[in-house]
Structure 1
Amino acid sequence: MPQAFKKNIRTLLGFLLVAVLITLLTPGNGGFRYQFSKGKPWQYDLLTAPYDFPIYKAESELSLEQDSIREAMKPVYTYDEEIMALMLAELKDEYHARMSKSIPHAYYIYVHQELRRLYTRGLIQADQLVNLREREKLEINLVGKENIMKREPITRFYSLKEAYEQLYDNKPNALDADLLQQMDLSRYLRDNVLYNEDLTQKLIQAELNDLSPSVGLIQQGERIIDKGEIVTPYTYNLLRSLAQEQDKRSGGTLQQWSLRIGSLLSMGLLFFVLGLYLILFIPSFVQQRKNMLFLLISLFIFVGLTAVNIHYDLFNQYIIPYVMFAIMMRTFFDSHTSLITYIIMVLASAIFIAEPLGFILIQVVAGLVALIALQTLSSRAQLIRAAFLVYLFYTIVSLAITIMNEGGIRHDYWVIQLYFAINLIFLTFTYILAFIVEKIFGYVSNVSLVELSDVNTPLLKELSEIAPGTFQHSLQVSILATEAASKIGGDVQLIRTGALYHDIGKIKNPSYFTENQGVNNPHNLLSCEESAQIIIRHVTDGIALAQKHNLPPQIIDFIRTHHGRGMTRYFYNTYCNQHPDQEVDPTPFSYPGPNPWTKEQGILMLADAVEASSRSLKEHTEDGIRLLTNRIIDSIVSEGLLNDTPLTFKDIQTIKEVFLIKLKTMYHSRITYPEKQ
């Protein structure tokens, strides 16, 4: 299977994966797609009930009623009859075993009868009795014989302490309290009215189950709200009830899965068409993985944020700065790529919007305005101006849509202006975001290239002061290269910046290069091999300087490749002439390379060689310039130094013609002004 085909399949699968991930972001898209707030105008068209649905109580109201049920519910206690029998039997056994000889039988009879009375009334733990009184629970549900439950007042029951006191307070006068104490009466007191948590909760749950969650019914076709009307508390409850009913009807059903699959198919189709378009018409974009990664992440963020926002009703959709996507794409790519990707992103986001037509119109117009404003992106200030233009056209288009639909301007139109203003604030941060993306993905934007092209930057200023001849050479090379790039479809700004920096390594040894030499030539004191090494070293010195000053990798590549694996021909030929009988090794006279591999790097190699050689012409006639240009370029081509670039023979011919015209202009002769007689 061809490698290109595999790469195209991976590209399409990447888009499909993003569509699947966005679909999975939300539980389903069958819910309520309208956004609304109490006291705010309704932004959509007339809404009628699509089917009968109940008017659900508000969460706070329902919660209050549930709390009332829990508060009103009387706790359930169980009367344990076995406790009394157990305690009376224990009293009888204890009395006959150890008390009958010292305590008269009348005491036993009294205690037995009193315990029976107390247990029949019911004994309860003191803390529970206090709790019931504090909660003003004056009655409880008491489950007694045969599991029959009756309401009983809490005044009927005694705490263990109260029962103990009753045994002494109710004793006949004939009985002695000291003898009663000897009977250790507290041993025979134990609570027999016990709180039943399970049964209490069952009764509460039964009451809660009987609680109606609704307060009325809206019939199918009944009017709910129209555009521009204020969402009153009652209308808000109707809308909330409709949203709740739609969620209930779509949740966990075949319909929800159908809606989810529908969204996935729609989005997947849009992304598939985008992927196919990029593969067929902008193949250079998909060839770099970082480009596809940046695009897929951007699509996931903007479309995914829309899906989540609409599903969970987080904020108005016009707060999301969709145009930031177009601006970011334009910052690093051409307008064509930016436009097609932005339109697909807007269409994919519109899948989740309740009224997509107006949304698409506003976003597409605003995006087009931003791309037009950034047609020639050369400064970061343009990003700020584009953001304000987007805000202006947001306002104009939304106003036009409002007038078209309503016949005038609504009193609440200022609300959407607030959303646009927040959007504008987010858009102004594109300036910072572009810088972050440059660092993460290794891009270099036109804005950064323009800033680097400023001759007042520290490195270029140093070059102009230490090696003025090289600086002038770099300026001339940039003129030749940019004109050639513009004719054959190269990146003009990239090659201009690369040309200005391609020879910065000459700062280290400026006097060893012809354009900076005076009367004395330091090469006269060196061997050919030593001179060649100094000349070759300006490439590695330039790379080191560029890295030290944090130049982008794309600019460093121009420094690395502007001589490719070519030779220092002057010193190589001189050495060969000096040693005619020796087989000369070309390695010491060869640049380390690599050869250029992009169109722009190839153009720079040609421009550098032709401009440098043109200085050796004694007369800059058209024929002389043409012969020189053809000879230098044909030599580079024949050596195979451009084999890795996408330059065609037609491109080479165009470059020759451009160089000829530009060099003629650079070296045109001036007229001699006559002396005044």
Structure 2
Amino acid sequence: MKKTKKSNKLSKITKNFTVQRFFMVIVTVLIAFIIIETGAQPTRYKLNAGDVSTNDIVAPREVVNEVLTEENRISARDNVEQVYKEDTQAFIQVIYKKDDFFKAVSTARLSVEKKMKELGLSPGSKNYNQYLKEAEEAAQESLANKLKELSVQLSEEQTAYLVSRVSDSETEAFEVLTKQLISQSMSEVITQSNLDIHIQNLRNSYNNEQGISDELKDIGGQLAGSILRPNQVIDNEATEKKRQDAYNNEANIVKIKKGSRVISFGDIVTMDKLKILEELNLLETKERYDYLFSLGIFVTLLFLTGIAAVFLRKYNKKIYKSRKELFLLCLIVIIMLVLARYLFPFYGGLIIPIFVGTMLISILLNFELAVVINCVLTVCISLMLKGDYKFLYMGLVCGAISAFLVTKAHQRSRLSMNGVLLGLINAVFIVFINFIEKSDAATILKESAAVFLNGIVSMILTIGLLPFLESAFGIVTPLKLLEISNPNHPLLKRLLMEAPGTYHHSLMVGNLAEVATEDLGGNALLARAGAYFHDVGKLKRPDFFSENQLSENPHERMAPNVSTVVIKAHTVDGAEIAAKYKLPPVIKDIIKQHHGTTLVAYFYYKAKKSESGDEVKQEDYRYEGPKPQTREAAIVMLSDSVEAAVRSMSNKTEEKIEALIRKIIKDKLDDGQLNRCPLTLADLDTIANSFMKVLSGYFHAREQYPEIRELLKKDVFIEAKGEYNIGQAQNNGTIFEEGKKDGGAKVDNN
């Protein structure tokens, strides 16, 4: 039993809106604290390579500059010269290759002589030249194959020259010279790196020799490049040891002593300094927690939250008492803080689209609240930016301007243009702030471009988020109201086709409601849209309402109580149709409230006249309500009644119309239909004047009749479905002719 009581008590507490509101605020403050604290914690230096340091950072202990140390080590290792050792086989291999070359040449030349001797041919013999040519070609081919094996590259012409055109003395002289030059070259230090130089020097030596032909000089150059090789090779083991010794040399280590300044104010952060800060745990540290700093941020957030709460409670109670609107406000604040937290490290505060939150609040909730929350958000984000005064100034000034820009923008195209305008305002503002700071042209140009794009991107994000937030929270913006008020809306087109009389009545009611609401400073677009759809319930039975009847009146064959049920049902039917067409909740509220709990007078008095009149209860002939809860709903109710009553008048003069308007408003007030909406007597007078302003424009050409106030006192204003009409009192005032609009019978206005 005790557990049940505790459970019921706990459930009652959790369902209490004050508790829910407190919970939402606390959760928002905690999330905001975590976001801001992680971004503003002073032990965490938000620095990247290339940034300009805004702090003097001192090393708390001795630390090695690992980046510079590693650079020194690599440089020392890479600058170590390679260690060589002598290749004892190199000279022998070169000499052998040289000997093989000349042996091959000699063999080829001797093969020609041998071939001619075998053929028994001498220079005077018949066909001697022919066989000599064949023998030389065979010798050339044999020599070419041998040179290929030796990797000596000679042309066919050079091979032919060695076989058939050079003399033996020239060959011997060439061989002696080659041996001498190669021996001389191989006596020097030849490595892989300077091999090309020695080859070129050897070729130059051949070219400078006067005792051989040019052809042999070219052959010698080719031979030098083919057979010369390094006599010194890299000692990999010794070289690696030398490099390792150079790498590990203590002279390469760069140390920063304890108390030495790592980075000075204004220094460019280099990779080695960044590494030092990381080594010293001064970047993104999580080990040293500054409790006093965090407490300061938390208390600051409480102050800012308190300011916003007091403003809501004192100047905007509607949002203060609305669960969904308060949640929307908290959500927008959190989204903006998250965006700021993860954007400012890339380019400071100038790219943070703080205007998104301000504009969303201005469009979805309230302009004054948007300005207040803009200040709160700017201060919160400034805590993370650690003194970025440019963002602070821009956020406070341009943020307020952005809230103003969207208040009068009722079309998305206008919003887009305002995004460009906001970007220009941002750019101009930042230019003059930079003038104060004497910034250079490059800084001015870069920051101006950044804030210009910020304004455009902020508007793009705002336009993109609006439909989702409107749908998720059921909030109606001017943009949404304009969309649904478009004559091409499916429900309005259906109303025009199926109930044209109701459609035209609704248009006139919309005109009256819009002007009156605008004069009161209310939501004129909402009043117009609500008026357009207030009678959509008549689509279910359009012929039962007089403005849509062409001949027969179905109510003449129906009992009064049945007619009343049909008439009253159009508010409920209208709400159902509105839900089917996904109209906003505020429009559905106007549909349900536009008659309040008014009496369906004609059918009530008709029932009273019947035989069972004594048993008729008035509450059975009243609309189910609820009564209008807002100014807009109340104005639509009054506009509906006034339009129907004035339209049924036969003699329309300004005096008659004004008297009728004020009579209708007084009757609604006396009937208690305006008890739940925030309208004052002064507001009702303004509404009456607004109605006259509209209706006098329609009927200004009417003839002015003499004083009719006495006649009006005799007229009885009856209501069927909540609209008043002038009817002639009959049968001692106990029964009245049915109102033209809703009852369906004609009015005898004499």
Q: Give TM-score scaled by structure 1 length.
A: 0.68
1:95-133: CA deviations, max 9, x gaps?
A: xxxxxxxxxxxxxxxxxxxxxxxxxxxxxxxxxxxxxxx
1:301-312 aligned at under 5 Å gives the runs 301-307=335-341
Cα offset for 1:328?
0.7
Structure showing greater radius of gyration is: 2
Confirm or deny that 1:18 pairs with 2:28: yes
Cα offset for 1:557?
0.9
Counterpart pick for 1:215 among 250, 255, 261: 255
Q: Judging changes above 3 Å, is the alpha-carbon distance between structure 1 residues 550 and 279 closer, same or farther for their aligned structure 2 residues?
A: same
Cα offset for 1:51?
4.0
Higher RCO by CA contacts (8 Å cutoff, separation 6 or greater)? 1
Q: Which runs of 5+ in 2 are unaligned?
A: 1-12, 74-249, 705-750
CA distance in 2, matches of 1:223, 1:58: 13
Confirm or deny that 1:287 pairs with 2:321: yes
Confirm or deny that 1:263 pairs with 2:263: no
Which one-letter code corresponds to 1:247 in the other structure? L
Confirm or deny that 1:381 pairs with 2:429: no
Cα offset for 1:496?
1.1
Q: In structure 2, what is the equivalent of residue 329 of structure 1? A: 361
Cα offset for 1:434?
0.8
CA distance in 2, matches of 1:583, 1:368: 64
Q: In structure 1, what is the equivalent of residue 41 of structure 2? A: 30
Any idea what SS the aligned residue of 1:642 has?
coil
- Answer whether contact 1:399 1:409 (CA < 8 A) is retained: no
1:499-518 aligned at under 5 Å gives the runs 499-518=531-550
Any idea what SS the aligned residue of 2:264 has?
strand
Cα offset for 1:519?
4.1
Any idea what SS the aligned residue of 1:269 has?
helix
1:467-505: CA deviations, max 9, x gaps?
A: 222112111111222222223332211111101100112
CA distance in 1, matches of 2:25, 2:631: 29
Q: In structure 1, what is the equivalent of residue 667 of structure 2? A: 635
Q: Percent identity at matched positions? A: 25
Q: In structure 2, what is the equivalent of residue 496 of structure 1? A: 528
Q: Judging changes above 3 Å, is the alpha-carbon distance between structure 1 residues 660 and 296 closer, same or farther for their aligned structure 2 residues?
A: same
Cα offset for 1:52?
5.0
1:43-102: CA deviations, max 9, x gaps?
A: xxx745254556966787899999xxxxxxxxxxxxxxxxxxxxxxxxxxxxxxxxxxxx
CA distance in 2, matches of 1:59, 1:579: 107
Cα offset for 1:448?
0.2
Which one-letter code corresponds to 2:256 in the other structure? G
- Answer whether contact 2:607 2:613 (CA < 8 A) is retained: no
Cα offset for 1:618?
1.8
Q: In structure 1, what is the equivalent of residue 597 of structure 2? A: 565
- Answer whether contact 2:40 2:384 (CA < 8 A) is retained: yes
Which one-letter code corresponds to 2:379 in the other structure? L
1:548-600: CA deviations, max 9, x gaps?
A: 11111110111111112222222222232344853313455332222222221
Confirm or deny that 1:452 pairs with 2:484: yes
CA distance in 1, matches of 2:287, 2:555: 84
Cα offset for 1:274?
1.5
- Answer whether contact 2:332 2:357 (CA < 8 A) is retained: yes
1:376-421: CA deviations, max 9, x gaps?
A: 1311223322322232223222222223213431268437735753
- Answer whether contact 1:485 1:603 (CA < 8 A) is retained: yes
Q: In structure 2, what is the equivalent of residue 49 of structure 1? A: 56
Which one-letter code corresponds to 1:635 in the other structure? D
- Answer whether contact 1:316 1:419 (CA < 8 A) is retained: no
- Answer whether contact 2:349 2:388 (CA < 8 A) is retained: no
Which of structure 1's runs of 4+ aligned residues deviate more than 6 A? 6-10, 58-66, 218-223
CA distance in 1, matches of 2:25, 2:254: 45
- Answer whether contact 1:403 1:409 (CA < 8 A) is retained: no
CA distance in 2, matches of 1:414, 1:309: 17
Counterpart pick for 2:270 among 216, 227, 235: 235
Q: Which runs of 5+ in 1 are unaligned?
A: 67-209, 673-677
Q: Judging changes above 3 Å, is the alpha-carbon distance between structure 1 residues 281 and 214 closer, same or farther for their aligned structure 2 residues?
A: farther
Q: In the comparison of the two structures, how many residue pairs are matched?
A: 515
CA distance in 1, matches of 2:283, 2:332: 33
Which one-letter code corresponds to 1:21 in the other structure? I
Confirm or deny that 1:399 pairs with 2:431: yes
Which one-letter code corresponds to 2:272 in the other structure? N
Coordinate RMSD, CA, aligned: 3.7
CA distance in 2, matches of 1:260, 1:462: 61
Counterpart pick for 1:487 among 499, 519, 540: 519
CA distance in 2, matches of 1:526, 1:339: 59
1:614-656: CA deviations, max 9, x gaps?
A: 1222212233223322332222222222222222233223323
Cα offset for 1:270?
1.4
Counterpart pick for 1:275 among 302, 305, 309: 309
Q: In structure 1, what is the equivalent of residue 371 of structure 2? A: 339
Q: In structure 1, what is the equivalent of residue 282 of structure 2? A: 247
- Answer whether contact 1:625 1:660 (CA < 8 A) is retained: yes
- Answer whether contact 2:509 2:531 (CA < 8 A) is retained: yes
CA distance in 1, matches of 2:529, 2:633: 12
Which one-letter code corresponds to 2:28 in the other structure? V
CA distance in 2, matches of 1:630, 1:415: 61
Q: In structure 1, what is the equivalent of residue 130 of structure 2? A: none
- Answer whether contact 2:575 2:588 (CA < 8 A) is retained: yes
- Answer whether contact 1:378 1:450 (CA < 8 A) is retained: yes
Q: In structure 1, what is the equivalent of residue 382 of structure 2? A: 350
Counterpart pick for 1:551 among 580, 583, 594: 583
Any idea what SS the aligned residue of 1:602 has?
helix
Q: In structure 2, what is the equivalent of residue 175 of structure 1? A: none
Any idea what SS the aligned residue of 2:475 has?
coil
- Point out the more displaced range, 607-616 or 625-634: 625-634
Q: Judging changes above 3 Å, is the alpha-carbon distance between structure 1 residues 21 and 367 closer, same or farther for their aligned structure 2 residues?
A: same
Q: Give TM-score scaled by structure 2 length.
A: 0.62
1:135-186: CA deviations, max 9, x gaps?
A: xxxxxxxxxxxxxxxxxxxxxxxxxxxxxxxxxxxxxxxxxxxxxxxxxxxx
Cα offset for 1:542?
1.5
Cα offset for 1:295?
1.2
1:419-476: CA deviations, max 9, x gaps?
A: 7537744541322211111121111111000111111212112212222221121111
Q: Judging changes above 3 Å, is the alpha-carbon distance between structure 1 residues 55 and 664 closer, same or farther for their aligned structure 2 residues?
A: farther
Counterpart pick for 1:300 among 334, 356, 366: 334
Which one-letter code corresponds to 1:502 in the other structure? H
Counterpart pick for 1:224 among 264, 268, 273: 264
1:289-318: CA deviations, max 9, x gaps?
A: 1121111122222224434666xx466443
- Answer whether contact 1:49 1:220 (CA < 8 A) is retained: no
Cα offset for 1:10?
6.8
Any idea what SS the aligned residue of 2:385 has?
coil
Cα offset for 1:30?
3.0
CA distance in 1, matches of 2:702, 2:260: 90
Cα offset for 1:533?
2.5
- Point out the more displaced range, 514-523 or 376-385: 514-523
Cα offset for 1:319?
3.2
- Answer whether contact 1:506 1:538 (CA < 8 A) is retained: yes
Any idea what SS the aligned residue of 1:617 has?
coil
- Point out the more displaced range, 406-415 or 383-392: 406-415
1:160-218: CA deviations, max 9, x gaps?
A: xxxxxxxxxxxxxxxxxxxxxxxxxxxxxxxxxxxxxxxxxxxxxxxxxx9x9973259
1:595-674 aligned at under 5 Å gives the runs 595-669=627-701
- Answer whether contact 1:463 1:471 (CA < 8 A) is retained: yes
- Point out the more displaced range, 622-631 or 410-419: 410-419
Which one-letter code corresponds to 1:333 in the other structure? L
- Answer whether contact 1:32 1:246 (CA < 8 A) is retained: no
Which one-letter code corresponds to 1:49 in the other structure? D
Any idea what SS the aligned residue of 1:247 has?
coil
